[in-house]
Structure 1
């Protein structure tokens, strides 16, 4: 079986000292490719060199809501130019979105709409971050409809919310959350929706799986997410793995 980690921050400092080992460990269990999102303008630009060094990584440009400041309008304008210049290198736009726990909510909403415009212009999918903001994301989708879908990162909503995103052309990113017994709402979504609606992700070094709280998450732990997912589904592991792989390849043009 082969796997793609559709959301991991392999360029973060927490993984840098042993990154080659982490990538090798992942490859040894079948995880051979990775999608690495952008979070700031400077980090997005740095991903160009990162991808040259690690060709198994597929990159995206974006401004994460956590890092937005009033001056981020200028950064977004520069991100547009950078993304258009490197269109052939990108697999997505993001990580972008709306986080109700972060400051500058109006700015977040405006720049999320800009990200949707950019993704539509470049015919790319979106990588969408959410936290207590499904209603705000839906409002943005009414202003500008995403034309090329994407993934709702770390989805943890209801079956109704899941169906809304799927109807909009999105996949649901499933990560370490489902390894926790308390994640009953997400378990219900995994059990209910068609297999074609999901992709796997770690969010490494964040979002640790159950039993590894307080430690940096590692890309090899995608297998723990996969094993838990399989326990919630009637299909064989082989069928589930192949669907994850083909869905990820189609979404990110891998």
Structure 2
């Protein structure tokens, strides 16, 4: 199994990362993608990739998560609109500079996207997303997209940016129609802990469609340390629990764990050009 979305730097603040990664390896996890959230996380994740790569290969991504855009300029405490805009611009410049001198672990651009549940103006989120899409196209890396109540906005942004690349919509929980729209644009869909909850009927229905028609567009993920699996609420989510997703897919749709593991691993390696 490959965990296509795990915030290792955030997980490291909650658990012993060495123990967690050894447990993940013992559970059958063979690789991890660690997306970033802000400039300080880029080097932190790259350092973790070097430190723990002997346990599991750790891929990383360069991005500015929409949730953290209100604090994008880590070197400024300024609160005025002009100063904040300058901070965003500086962060985007740092993103381009980091992309011009890629660390060996970097396989994607992100996490970026649009979130409809946060107090960050859509105009700002769209501006930053557009910059990520432009960069991903320029350096030929896939993009990792975040969504919450924003599928229509994301699809609109991809069209407006004339994005030519590929990517993954992480923690996908949309309709069959939304899934089709992303797949038509060459995107993959990340499936995680949401499907372990019985109340997630829409997501389960969409997953059924994907398994029957687009198995080659599915990735597995935990989003650790967040998005706990059913029955594991109250403790940090970890990569070792990725098998819960595989088990639920087997229970609901009679897809063998070996088939799920094999196909999603191939999908990941193809998308991120990883070896």
1:241 equivalent in alignment to 2:261: yes
**In structure 2, the residue corresponding to 1:31 is in which secondary structure?**
coil
**In structure 2, the residue corresponding to 1:191 is in which secondary structure?**
helix
User: What pairs with 1:52-131 in structure 2 (closer than 5 Å)?
Assistant: 52-55=50-53, 56-69=57-70, 70=84, 71-86=87-102, 88-102=104-118, 103-131=120-148
Q: How many residues align?
A: 252
Query: What displacement does 1:241 show?
Result: 1.4
Contact 2:224 2:238 in 1 (8 A): yes
In the superposition, the TM-score normalised over structure 1's length comes to: 0.95
- CA RMSD in angstroms comes to 1.4
Query: What displacement does 1:196 show?
Result: 1.2
Query: What displacement does 1:17 show?
Result: 4.2
Contact 2:114 2:126 in 1 (8 A): yes
Distance 2:198 2:183 in 1: 25
Comparing 146-155 and 170-179, the one that deviates more: 146-155
Gaps in structure 2 of 5+ consecutive residues:
71-83
1:167 equivalent in alignment to 2:184: yes
Query: What displacement does 1:15 show?
Result: 4.8
Which residue in the other structure is 2:76 paired with? none
Which residue in the other structure is 2:199 paired with? 182
Comparing 123-132 and 97-106, the one that deviates more: 97-106
Comparing 237-246 and 143-152, the one that deviates more: 143-152
1:232 equivalent in alignment to 2:252: yes
Query: What displacement does 1:84 show?
Result: 1.6
Which residue in the other structure is 2:165 paired with? 148
Which residue in the other structure is 1:223 paired with? 243
Which residue in the other structure is 2:22 paired with? 24
In the superposition, the TM-score normalised over structure 2's length comes to: 0.88
Gaps in structure 1 of 5+ consecutive residues:
none
Comparing 97-106 and 79-88, the one that deviates more: 79-88
Q: Deviations over 1:23-74 (max 9, x none)?
A: 0111012102100001001111322222211221100000000000332221
